[in-house]
A and B are shown apart, each in its own frame.
Chain A
Amino acid sequence: MELFANQVLAGIATGAIYACMALAVVMIYQAIDHLNFAQGEMAMFSTFVSWQLMQWGVPYWGAFVLTVAFSFAAGIVIERLLFKPLAKAPILTNVAGFIALYAIINSVAGLIWDFTIKQYPTPFGSSPFLGSQLISTHQAGMIGITLLMLVLLFFFFRFTRVGLAMRAAASLPESARLVGINTSWMIALGWGMASAIGSIAGMMIAPVVFLEPNMMLGVLIYGFAAAVLGGLTSPFGAVMGGFLVGIFENLVGTYIPGVGNELKLPIALALIIVVLVVKPAGLFGRAIVKRV
């Protein structure tokens, strides 16, 4: 029983990584109805920016704030320049666009900062948290930040005019336009926010997985799995999905023999497919009803 409890705790710690990423994935899905395959790379690039700022002597939290602001602006710029013209194009064209963006960001980051693995600092320290060996203070801090972001997002969407306008633009674009909401800019705002959340996720994840241009691929797949499990329409679901996926991954690794790190990605694959087939709306998402 103690083993079980420990594994669940360790699962929550890894789950925090996926929860961060899933939150960014859900944000962009809410705004544009697409899964951004370049999301992980955007987060990676932001993390490198913050690393570079720290190399130049900016203190951690200064770099943190500057990076989030930079990512927010960069997200909006990318949307305005590259994806606004594609808004009416078929889904296929958009997917191709995401892939092109992925290739560009990955390659540029590799050129600027090369492919060697870098240490990334944590503001929370890495001593054991509350005397537990399984969860470090950094992981506890990461869980805290994730939950904080979730609460802030909840208040933003629930109680501010802009949040309400964004929800309106996402659910009924025509009607939203009729009451004077600039839906096009709401989408840009969604990109900016997703990019900013992604950058926070990147900065939280980097101390665990280390900083390098390909650090996000596995995390992104698990972030997708978490978002799908929690429901692509629910930020709360995405965070819960992240923790559940982390716990699930750890328990499977502990109790099913022969399943180790080498099966990490196939587990995510199986999870995504099972959820999409059994409960496509996810645990906390709204079921999508299509008008025929």
Chain B
Amino acid sequence: MSAAEEVEVVTEGQAVEAVPKRAMTLGYGTSLVVLAALILIPLFVKNFIIFQMTMLLIYGLAVMALNILTGGSGQFSLGQSAFYAVGAYTSAILMEHAGMNYALTLPIAGIVCFGFGFLFGQPALRLSGVYLALATFALATAMPQLLKLGYFEHWTGGVQGLVVTKPDAPFGLPLSQDMWLYYFTLVVTIAIYIASVNLLRSRSGRAFMAIRDNEIAASAMGVDVALYKTLAFGVSAGITGVAGGLGAIAVQFVAPDGYTIQLAISLFLGMVVGGVGWLPGSIVGSAFIIFVPNIAEGISKGLSGAVFGVLLFLVIFLVPHGARQVAIVAQQLAAKLKKN
């Protein structure tokens, strides 16, 4: 129960609360149950729901990338949509202009975004807290206009965007396109999830967390603060880029107006709802940003934004640590029941 106690030690003025390393992941048993559910459910549902689950995984990946940046190294970003867009465009351009295989475009999208994030991390180094939120906010609002630029129109398709062809299942597997894409996304997501967990448990991960908790102490202990902060930005952008590439393939379309500040805000909210610094919460946050707007629209069509905002306030006030808090409470309840 150390996680619940640790939560109380939030000092005033800290950007992000400290999350102990063990509390960042799920136990093996729970992981297997979730994995089994993710593998089995698509076999029994309609294609549209499979598509939604694919998007759930993709946004989950993007939220997790932000979680590594914020929950891991304590830096903000309201500009994740920019990295997502760059990843999506890299994949789309490589597939449509260079005729490359969709699976091969993903690592390239990841590397391109890693570079972009690493470079953007350089000026971001000198900023913290609110200033960083502001700089990344400006990046996200500027991105659609940059993508629409006449100079790149030959490649990006300008305002029109690009249409991407959906891949068929390989080796003549008897799977529909949606189902194949879902399992493909699932494999990529699991691979990146495992890599991220390992990253956070490694020396680099400890360096991230040391910077998050106390930058000065971290540098006194020999952590290269500048390097690890930019590295966190790079890794986060890289993963977001892969998610963006997957998103382009799943939606079969990229256009500048698909990657506005709205997307960046959604990803940010997903992280808050899922619990900052708790990687499995990313999927909960992703579900929130995909399904809640629909529910909100169901409650009142014109007021969907307001309902969304009110729900968000409820989350902030009632469960400030997001899904992680719910999980901890559930765990405590289960332990109590076992004792009785």
Is A bound to B?
Answer: yes
Q: Looking at the assembled complex, report how far the CB atom of B19 sits from the nearest CB atom of chain A, in whole angstroms.
A: 11
Whole-angstrom CA separation of A6 from B272 in the bound complex: 48
B42 at the interface (CB under 8 A from A): no
Contacting residues of chain B (45-64) with chain A, CB-CB under 8 angstroms: none
Contacts of A103 in B (CB 8 A): 305-306, 308-309, 312
Whole-angstrom CA separation of A273 from B268 in the bound complex: 21
- Is B268 a contact of A107 with CB atoms below 8 Å? no
Contacts of A33 in B (CB 8 A): 130
- Is A277 a contact of B16 with CB atoms below 8 Å? no
- Is A272 a contact of B272 with CB atoms below 8 Å? no
Indicate whether A266 sits within 8 Å of B142 (C-beta atoms), given known contacts A90-B14, A93-B272, A272-B134.
Answer: yes
- Is B138 a contact of A269 with CB atoms below 8 Å? yes
Q: Looking at the assembled complex, report how far the CB atom of B285 sits from the nearest CB atom of chain A, in whole angstroms.
A: 12
- Is B76 a contact of A95 with CB atoms below 8 Å? yes
Partner of B316, one of A88, A96, A111: A96
Interface residues on B, range: 35 or more
Indicate whether A92 sits within 8 Å of B276 (C-beta atoms), given known contacts A217-B141, A265-B145.
Answer: yes
Interface string of A229-268 (1 = CB under 8 A from B): 0000000000000000000000000000010001111101
Contacts of B145 in A (CB 8 A): 262-266
Q: Which residue of A lies closest to B12 (CB)?
A: A88
Contacts of B15 in A (CB 8 A): 90-92
A148 at the interface (CB under 8 A from B): no
Q: How many A-B residue pairs have CB under 8 A?
A: 138
Q: Looking at the assembled complex, report how far the CB atom of B36 sits from the nearest CB atom of chain A, in whole angstroms.
A: 33
Whole-angstrom CA separation of A85 from B313 in the bound complex: 11
Interface string of B231-253 (1 = CB under 8 A from A): 00000000000000000000000
Q: Which residue of A lies closest to B260 (CB)?
A: A217
- Is B135 a contact of A106 with CB atoms below 8 Å? no
- Is B305 a contact of A86 with CB atoms below 8 Å? no
- Is B313 a contact of A273 with CB atoms below 8 Å? no
B20 at the interface (CB under 8 A from A): no
Partner of A96, one of B130, B135, B312: B312
- Is B268 a contact of A99 with CB atoms below 8 Å? yes
Contacts of B307 in A (CB 8 A): 107
Q: Which residue of B lies closest to A213 (CB)?
A: B305
Whole-angstrom CA separation of A99 from B70 in the bound complex: 17
Q: Looking at the assembled complex, report how far the CB atom of B179 sits from the nearest CB atom of chain A, in whole angstroms.
A: 34
- Is B313 a contact of A272 with CB atoms below 8 Å? no
Contacts of B138 in A (CB 8 A): 221, 224-225, 265, 268-269, 272-273
Indicate whether A262 sits within 8 Å of B70 (C-beta atoms), given known contacts A90-B10, A103-B305.
Answer: no
A104 at the interface (CB under 8 A from B): yes
B302 at the interface (CB under 8 A from A): yes
Interface string of B133-170 (1 = CB under 8 A from A): 11101110110011011110000000000000000000
B269 at the interface (CB under 8 A from A): yes
Contacting residues of chain A (33-53) with chain B, CB-CB under 8 angstroms: 33-35, 37
A108 at the interface (CB under 8 A from B): yes
Partner of A35, one of B133, B304, B316, B320: B133
A101 at the interface (CB under 8 A from B): yes
B187 at the interface (CB under 8 A from A): no
Contacting residues of chain B (9-55) with chain A, CB-CB under 8 angstroms: 10, 12, 14-17
Q: Looking at the assembled complex, report how far the CB atom of B244 sits from the nearest CB atom of chain A, in whole angstroms.
A: 19
Q: Looking at the assembled complex, report how far the CB atom of A223 sits from the nearest CB atom of chain B, in whole angstroms.
A: 11
- Is B135 a contact of A272 with CB atoms below 8 Å? yes
Contacts of B142 in A (CB 8 A): 265-266, 268-269
- Is A97 a contact of B302 with CB atoms below 8 Å? no
- Is B317 a contact of A85 with CB atoms below 8 Å? yes
Q: Which residue of A lies closest to B122 (CB)?
A: A277
- Is A269 a contact of B139 with CB atoms below 8 Å? yes
Whole-angstrom CA separation of A91 from B15 in the bound complex: 5
Interface string of A67-101 (1 = CB under 8 A from B): 00000000000000010011011111101110111
Q: Looking at the assembled complex, report how far the CB atom of A184 sits from the nearest CB atom of chain B, in whole angstroms.
A: 14
Q: Which residue of A lies closest to B307 (CB)?
A: A107
Interface string of A125-169 (1 = CB under 8 A from B): 000000000000000000000000000000000000000000000
Whole-angstrom CA separation of A228 from B130 in the bound complex: 12
- Is A228 a contact of B309 with CB atoms below 8 Å? no
B265 at the interface (CB under 8 A from A): yes
Which residues of B are in contact with A by a Cβ distance under 8 Å?
A: 10, 12, 14-17, 70, 76, 78, 123, 126-127, 129-131, 133-135, 137-139, 141-142, 145-146, 148-151, 216, 261, 265, 268-269, 272, 276, 302-310, 312-313, 316-317, 320
Which residues of A are in contact with B by a Cβ distance under 8 Å?
A: 33-35, 37, 82, 85-86, 88-93, 95-97, 99-104, 106-108, 110-111, 217, 221, 224-225, 228, 258, 262-266, 268-269, 272-273, 276-277, 280, 292
23 sampled A-B residue pairs with Cβ under 8 A: A35-B130, A82-B313, A86-B316, A88-B10, A89-B10, A89-B320, A90-B17, A91-B14, A91-B16, A92-B16, A92-B76, A92-B276, A93-B316, A100-B308, A100-B310, A111-B306, A221-B138, A221-B141, A224-B138, A258-B151, A266-B142, A269-B142, A280-B126
Q: Closest 9 A-B residue pairs measured CB to CB?
A: A107-B305, A104-B309, A103-B309, A100-B312, A269-B142, A100-B309, A269-B138, A107-B306, A111-B302
Known: A111-B302, A217-B141, A280-B127. 6 other contacts (CB 8 A): A33-B130, A91-B76, A96-B268, A100-B316, A224-B137, A258-B150
